Amino acid sequence: MDTPATAGDPRFFARTGPHPVAVLAAACGADAPAGDRLLRGVAPLQSAGPEEISFLDNRRYLPALVATRAGAVIVHPDQAAKVPATALALVTKEPYLGWARVAALFHPPAPLRAGIHPHALVEPGAEIDPTAEIGPFAVVGEGARIGARCRIGAGAVIGAGVTMGPDCRVGAHASVSHAMLGARVYLYPGVRIGQEGFGFAITDRGFVTVPQLGRVIVEDDVEVGANSTIDRGSAQDTVIGAGSRLDNLVQIGHNVRLGRCCVIVSQAGISGSTVLEDFVMVGGQGGLTGHLHIGRKARIGAQAGVMADVAAGTEVVGSPAMPVRDFFRQVAVIRRLVAERRAQASGGRLSAGDQATGDRGAERTDSD
């Protein structure tokens, strides 16, 4: 297989440069080092060469920093002294943010191709800004409004009446209906927005579907990962707050309201009418039942099962979910009981391994 040595395979990613190191320093908020070195790309510490820039944001990769051949490295002030003499240190308190900006400088988004592809279908009454790009086999429904510089991918479906602010991006085969999107909303391939929510009345003969008459409101600067789904509201709106990030394969039920800058990680599911305040984080495969209230800056651990309201600033784990301190206290008690039962069965004292297991659980509890 033909594998490039550096990030940004030119078959898939546009590239600019080379860029002077002073320009890269300005992009990542670092002081410009002496010299006029030109750098041609970005690469991981392990594979970067003298004409490439890399970064360190995790101490576990310090050995790779010491051995790197990169021409420049973006680092935190605490790690600046460990940058090899052959590399220039671009020192910033936020190395990962600096890396994001430098990588975007070398690899900006592909330019728009304004216009409507001849194989796209645009229904009468749709309004498409002349700067927008409508890809092949895309469908834009009657009365939809597509804002300036939007990009609609191949095979995507924008339903009747949908409105979309400027600079939105809709990936291939995504579908949007019954929705209003703000500015700079990114929907990745396969996203489904605006379909009917999971609502039905139960009778002795089966189920009767309840009409879902709400909308989906997606505020500015939201990103929704591939194959995620956001149901429209039943009688009120489903709302995704400004700046929120949804990973791939996330399910948002009807009437859910996310505040600003929430983060929902892959395979998490939020049931209907649950409210998340600003800056809530939900870990992978987390599950939230319906009609809950999750307070500002709460953190839901991976695979947690949340069945009750969570107070602001609280971190919960486990199923049923509970505060982290309580969870690890219970784990320590269970480990101790198992170890004692094992010792009784063998007629002796706790083994060294069982003793260590109980001690580790107690230490984790004490350190919370």
Please give the DSSP secondary-structure letter assigned to residue 154: T
Nearest C-alpha neighbor of 98 from the set 54, 37, 52: 54
Note the pLDDT of residue 272: 95
For 65, counting Cβ atoms within 10 Å of its Cβ (0-12 exposed, 13-18 middle, 19+ buried), the class is buried
Residue stretches of the chain with pLDDT short of 70? 1-6, 348-368
The SS3 assignment for 26 reads helix
For 366, the 3-state DSSP assignment is helix
Going by C-beta distance under 8 Å and a sequence separation of 6 or more, which residues neighbour residue 134?
A: 115, 116, 117, 120, 122, 128, 140, 146, 152
Residues 6+ apart with CB under 8 A from 34: none
pTM of the model: 0.87
Length reported for the chain: 368
pLDDT of 367: 40
Q: How far is CA 104 from its chain centroid?
A: 17
Tell me whether the omega of the peptide bond preceding residue 320 falls within 30 degrees of 0, making it cis: yes
Asked whether this chain's domains 19-106 and 174-320 adopt the same fold, the reply is no
Structurally, what CATH architecture does the domain formed by 19-106 represent? 3-Layer(aba) Sandwich (3.40)
77 class by beta-carbon count within 10 Å (0-12 exposed, 13-18 middle, 19+ buried) = exposed
**Res 368: pLDDT:** 44
Tokens of 127: 């309004």
Distance CA 248, CA 225 (A): 4
Please report the pLDDT score of residue 346 as a whole number: 77
DSSP 8-state symbol, 292: -
% helix / strand / coil in the chain, to the nearest 5? Answer: 20, 25, 55
Q: Does the CA dihedral 258-274-266-198 come out positive or negative?
A: negative
| pLDDT for the residue 350 | 54
Question: What residues does each domain of the chain span?
Answer: 19-106, 174-320, 325-367
Q: For position 198, what pLDDT does the model report?
A: 93
Per DSSP, the three-state class of 192 is strand
pLDDT at 9: 87
- In Å, how far are 52, 75, 300, 301, 302 from 316, measured between CA atoms? 42, 32, 5, 6, 9
Q: Residue 238's CB: how many other CB atoms inside 10 A?
A: 30
| Per-residue tokens: 333 | 């008690």
Token pair 């191709």 is found at 113
Run of H or E residues at 175: strand 175-176
Q: What is the per-residue pLDDT for 240?
A: 98
pLDDT at position 355, please?
Answer: 55
- The two beta strands, 229-230 and 206-209, are unpaired
For the chain, give the percent of residues with pLDDT over 90: 80
Q: Which residues are catalytic?
A: 254
Question: Which numeric CATH code is attached to 174-320?
Answer: 2.160.10.10
Nearest to 229 by CA among 197, 193, 265: 193
Among 154, 25, 146, 38, smallest CA distance to 91 is for 25
